Structure 1
Amino acid sequence: MTTIDIKQATKDGIYLNGYVVNISYDKLMKLNGKRVRISGKVTIVKGLKHYNDGEIRQGRQEDTKHILRPKIKIIDN
């Protein structure tokens, strides 16, 4: 359970309790400020490694947990 804060949104989705949740911007606007329960299948996207010269490729360095098809239930209005 968490409260939706539109400020946590990125191009990939929204960060909620350590997960990147794939929710459309329109739906996020409707849910902004509401307390919700989110469930769904979690997939892990592996982080990127450094090049040999220490340079980092574009992307996240750490692994990220994604919920791609979330089920959302509003807890209170």
Structure 2
Amino acid sequence: MFEDNQSCLHMLDSEKYSNRTKHIDTRYHFTKDLQQTGIVKFIYCPTEKMLADLLTKPVPRVRIEALRQLCGLVR
């Protein structure tokens, strides 16, 4: 799974909890378990190459064109 949030990736790799992360709920622990068992692998992907943004965020036309090219959806 590609992720552009480096803080999120660091939390998944870290075994420590802090006052800032104690609010994290069971979805985080479920995700961490999936990673530790090897079911899911998280990989850093820079925001400018995050293909999911094309369908999940409002993006300007120039960005849409760039993401379409990366997806191979070019006319």
User: What's the TM-score bracket when you normalise by the shorter of the two chains?
Assistant: under 0.3
Work out which structure has the larger RCO, using CA pairs closer than 8 Å and 6 or more positions apart in sequence. Answer: 2
Higher strand share: 1
TM value normalised by structure 1: 0.22
The TM-score, its normalising length taken from structure 2, stands at 0.22
Q: Tell which structure's C-alpha radius of gyration is larger.
A: 2
